[in-house]
Structure 1
């Protein structure tokens, strides 16, 4: 069965926020990837290359807090109150398709499900109630 975790968007302050959360919850980051480390780094303005493309940190029992710097210079706008997604980690590609298609019924798709450079099948949608979802199936899971 799929797991659901919060995915936060920050306007360039992800690293500060996650260092704060680390001080509160303890533990270590399990993933931290900067924009400079992506295949699209040549499209990122030089002063933003060290911003966070993706960070993940376990909190509590089986929960993972994740985030990105959603930067205006890259076409994003962070609005307090809607600056989060619920991220579903599916157990299979068919489960990802099923969940994505069901959740997007009556809503809107902003990133269709597709294979991504980080080794996952991934898509983003907003359901008919205005909730933002990320659906991800990691090909590298056990």
Structure 2
């Protein structure tokens, strides 16, 4: 069994996934617009190029997403996409990339459990946690 977060975007799924791909060094496995699919007839003309399904591989995890029809857009709540990194410099680099235009909930800092930890909601509306744990001896 595999558990994968599935994000819903407000019309900017492609932009968000392309940004995450660049920032995280991940691989987009699928980016399917409604155009040319059986679902094309079920969405308005201005939604044809919006993403029906996207899938990205980040490390050993899949992150999936789509654009949510405007009448069904909801603010994500009750979860965060958690990134575990091993290098404080990598945590800082990712934080710098995600914090641009973000709502910072906890700035990147050292905690009793981590060399670096942060929580934010990025400019695309995705809630993130970045955790760089302390080395175990």
TM-score range, shorter chain: 0.5 to 0.7
Q: Deviations over 1:95-130 (max 9, x none)?
A: xxxxxxxxxxxxxxxxxxxxxxxxxxxxxxxxxxxx
The alpha-carbon distance between structure 1 residues 64 and 29, as it changes in their structure 2 partners (threshold 3 A), is same
Looking at structure 1, the residues matched to 67 and 78 of structure 2 have their Cα atoms a distance apart, in angstroms, of 14
Segments of structure 1 that go 5 or more residues without pairing to the other structure are 85-142
1:64 aligns with 2:62: yes
- Shift of the 82–54 alpha-carbon distance from structure 1 to 2, 3 Å rule, reads farther
Instruction: Tell me the equivalent position of 1:24.
Output: 23
Match of 1:79 among 75, 78, 81: 75
What is the Cα deviation at residue 27 of structure 1?
Answer: 3.4
Taking structure 2 as the reference length, the TM-score comes to: 0.53
Larger of the two Rg values belongs to structure: 2
Q: TM-score, normalised by structure 1?
A: 0.51
- Alignment length, in residue pairs? 80
Retained in 2: the 8 A contact 1:10–1:83?
no
RMSD: 1.9
- Unmatched segments (≥5 aa) in structure 2: 81-137
Contact 2:9 2:73 in 1 (8 A): no
